Amino acid sequence: MNNTNATTGIDIGFKYGIIGGLGLIAIYLYVYFTHNFSAALLFGGSAVGRIVPTILAALTVRRLSKGQTTFRDVLQAAFAAIVVTYIITMFFDYFLFNYADAAYIQLVKDYWANTMQTSMQLMGAPPEAITDTINGMRSVELNSGFLDVLQQLMYKIFFGFLFAAPVSFLISRNWAGK
């Protein structure tokens, strides 16, 4: 992508990050309005909303460079997609939990506590262990202040980089000559 007239990897990553962030917001709004806390929807949707834009950004850089790209160019696009996706969803989460519906976080905690209780019962856990676990889950304070959300964002970006780097390496390699 060393062509100065070409779109940069950061521009491509920004575009796919916006798509990923808006896609995740759509999933979160669906969950919010339907109260469908399905693990497949939440985890699957979140994974798709983060992984797919990252991979598509990296592949777009490779396609636009006609396969003659560097790891750096691909990593820029992939990492930019992750960062933009996380920033968009961070602002959405912050607004939802602090301004739109502060009580919603308790509903989410209750759902996950009930799900854990059911799972532990199915696995035959002792009743006292179930009670202790559920009480512990319900007593956890989920902080959604701006600094807490910003700290979570930094962790997500760090782990996002750990995902983007190997993906970028694999996509930037010239496999035909190996």
Q: Band of the pLDDT at 150, cuts 50, 70, 90?
A: confident
Tens of pLDDT, residue by residue over 67-120, are 788 899 999 999 999 999 999 998 898 888 888 887 887 787 788 888 888 888
CB–CB of 160/86 below 8 Å?
yes
What CA–CA distance (Å, rounded) separates 114 from 55?
35
pTM above 0.85, yes or no: no
Tens of pLDDT, residue by residue over 114-141, are 888 888 888 888 888 888 888 887 776 6
CB–CB of 23/99 below 8 Å?
no
What CA–CA distance (Å, rounded) separates 178 from 175?
5
What CA–CA distance (Å, rounded) separates 122 from 75?
44
